[in-house]
Amino acid sequence: MSRAPVRVSRRCGKRPIRVSFEFFPPKTDDAEAALWDSIHRLAPLGPDFVSVTYGAGGTTRERTQSTVTRLVRETALLPAAHLTCVGASRAEVDAVVRDYAAAGVRHIVALRGDPPGGVGAHYAAHPEGYQSTAELVRGVREAGDFEVFVSAYPERHPESPSLQHDLDVLQAKVDAGATRAITQFFFDNDVYFRFLDKVRSRGIDIPIVPGIVPVQNFRQTAGFAARCGASVPAWLADRFEGLDDDPATRRLIAAAVAAEQVIDLLDRGVRDFHFYTMNRADLVYAICHLLGMRPQAEADHAGDEPLPMAAQ
């Protein structure tokens, strides 16, 4: 079994920078190989945790579980398993949680999930299932020694009547035991800071970690953003204009755009970053390098502080 041989020492001034990486479970042997190549490339950066998504409607349940348990068995990384309550009874969800506990998993990203019809379709909770994410958070906390992370939506969830309602939902998840929120991706950092102000005024003090999506393919990202309620600023569209058939230049622009975003967040005091990797390591690795992260011997990491429970 190979344990990640090196860890990272990364500091900005006196404060450490912390990153986490999100992957999705692979569907084919080739995709599986690509995923593990990415994991092995990023592991020496010493992420605080790596998370594995749960397919819409629970469709990747087995693949998510096998990826997470392989992470436990074969790496020194701390895995966080995404888990949704859509289309499943409470007993079914609880069985997954028990399996994770038995496998040594201690971190769950608890989510409602999108309706089987996709984003925007009518959502109905399973009659015997968890009726809300807050209920799921409570269920996971009661099931074992888990730390539970949840989502947050700086630009409002598409189903939400208002940002205020989103804050009520976030508050309920925190009251149920969530200790960290990861945001939906955004491109305008002011949106994040305005949201953070509202969260803090509300008295919610858990870390609200920005979710960063490096734009691998602008058209795809813009389409996805439209469905999940994230705005795409005109300046971003301008930067990718005319590059549909020029992947090499697109990649350079993508790196520049993501670097600009994270460096601005860093300059404004953010120290925790969650990267939606899309199972590709190169852009994320480059951005982490820009954040000052370097792979170093494990011994160098020994003095780093544990996951912060204090506010971002």
* Residues in 35-54 at the binding interface with ligand FAD, rule: CB under 6 A: 53-54
Residue placing its CB nearer to ligand FAD in the complex, 22 or 287: 22
Q: Binding to ligand FAD by residue 166, rule CB under 6 A?
A: yes
Residue placing its CB nearer to ligand FAD in the complex, 186 or 218: 186
Rounded to whole angstroms, how far apart are CA atoms 256 and 259?
5
CB of 191 to ligand FAD, least distance (A): 14
CB of 262 to ligand FAD, least distance (A): 17
Residue placing its CB nearer to ligand FAD in the complex, 125 or 255: 125
Contact stretch for ligand FAD (CB under 6 A) within 25-33, 151-159, 196-204, 279-287:
151-159
The residue from 9, 38, 75, 184 that contacts ligand FAD (CB under 6 A) is 184
Amino acid at 219: R
In the Cβ-directed half-sphere of 306, how many Cα atoms lie within 13 Å?
A: 1
Is position 22 annotated as part of the catalytic site?
yes
Task: Please identify the residue of the shown chain whose CB is closest to the bound ligand FAD.
Answer: 160
Contact stretch for ligand FAD (CB under 6 A) within 35-43, 69-77, 155-163, 290-298:
155-163
Number of Cβ within 10 Å of residue 282's Cβ equals: 15
Q: Binding to ligand FAD by residue 65, rule CB under 6 A?
A: no
Q: Hey, what are 4's tokens?
A: 């990640």
Burial class (CB in 10 A: 0-12, 13-18, 19+), 5: exposed
CB of 143 to ligand FAD, least distance (A): 18
Binding footprint of ligand FAD, residue count (CB under 6 A): 23
Q: Binding to ligand FAD by residue 82, rule CB under 6 A?
A: yes
Binding mask 186-225 vs ligand FAD (x if CB under 6 A, - otherwise)?
-------------------------x--------------
Q: Binding to ligand FAD by residue 111, rule CB under 6 A?
A: yes
Q: Are 216 and 254 in contact (CB under 8 A)?
A: yes
Residue placing its CB nearer to ligand FAD in the complex, 150 or 293: 150
What residues are labeled active site?
22
Binding positions for ligand FAD, rule: CB under 6 A = 53-54, 56, 82, 84, 109, 111-114, 123, 132-133, 151, 157, 159-160, 165-166, 169, 182, 184, 211
